[in-house]
Every structure is written in C-alpha cells, then in structure tokens.
Structure 1
Amino acid sequence: MTLPPVEHRVAEFIPQNPQDVLSSTIIELADKTKSSYATINRLINHIGFSGFRELKKYLYQDIITQNMVDFSQNSLDFLDVISLSQGSTTEEIC
C-alpha cells in the first residue's frame, strides 16, 4: 500500500517514537508530526486500527512484549515499563 507523503511521515514517526505516541493525544501527535487530526485518523484506518485508542493499546502491548523478550534492545528502560504498568490497566494508559 502506498501512503500519501504526510501519512507516510506519521507512519514512520509512530514506531520510532512509541513513548511519544502513548503519552500524546491525537492532536498532540498531529502537532509533533506536522500533520492534522484527519491525517492521523486516515492513517489509523489505512493500517487497520479502529481508532487512536486501539493503536495506543497495540503500542503499549508491543512495548511490554519487547521488554519481556530483551530489555537491552528496546528504547524503553525496564523501570519505565514497570512504572507504566503498575496499578494501571491498558485502558487507563490509553
């Protein structure tokens, strides 16, 4: 699938900056990627998520899984993951 240039830029930003995405609203992500709310929504639909919340839930679970597999190869520190996950459900974090 070929994405328009703005969506492509956002699609590159998301996996390179998962913590930023997790801590951002959709408007903040649009600002960080020099795009718009509509662009973020279109991209989310193009890549198969039902919405921003589902994307964030996927990223959170991916970060947890990567840290369980190999802490040294992930951009998140193990203590960051623990502090994110202690006492929080995935829904609360998203």
Structure 2
Amino acid sequence: MKIKLASLILSLISARPALAAIDLNSATRAELEAAKGIGPAKAQAIMTYREKNGPFKQLEELARVKGFGKATVNKLKPQFTTAGTKTGDRTAK
C-alpha cells in the first residue's frame, strides 16, 4: 500500500510541470519547443515576433506570427498564457 501511495505521489509531482501553461512572453526557445505542435521554426518565429512587436497581450495575437493560423492557435491555446506580460518589455527571450 505504501509503495502504491508513493508511486501515485511521484507521478503527480512529475506530471505537474507538464500541466503548467507556457508564458509566450518569457519562454525560452527550448520551452517553446517543448510544447506539442511547436518545433524549432515556430519557436524561432515566436521569438522573432516578440522581439519586433513586444509582448503578446492576448493569445489570439499568435495568429499574426508566421506559420500560425487561427486553427493552429486554437489547438495551442491550452498550452500557453500571456500572464507574464509587462508593459514595454521587449526583451523577453
């Protein structure tokens, strides 16, 4: 019984980071690539957009990034947030 409980606790702890939303405004390239549906090219496109336009104010802005359409954005929404948005912060990487 103790082994089963310990296994359950460990699995919940290890699954927790996977459930956390990725902040589009502060995520590193590696963090972006860790999201399902984001590869190196899309991660770079997000970072380039962020550098040129500043932080994302809402997730729907992702549709303005090269390689992202509305359907793709809708699929990705559960994985991302813009919670860390800081006005005027154009250096997020």
> TM-score, normalized by length of structure 2?
0.37
Higher RCO (C-alpha under 8 Å, 6+ residues apart): 2
Say which structure is richer in strand.
2
Structure with higher Rg: it is 2
- Greater fraction of residues in helix: 1
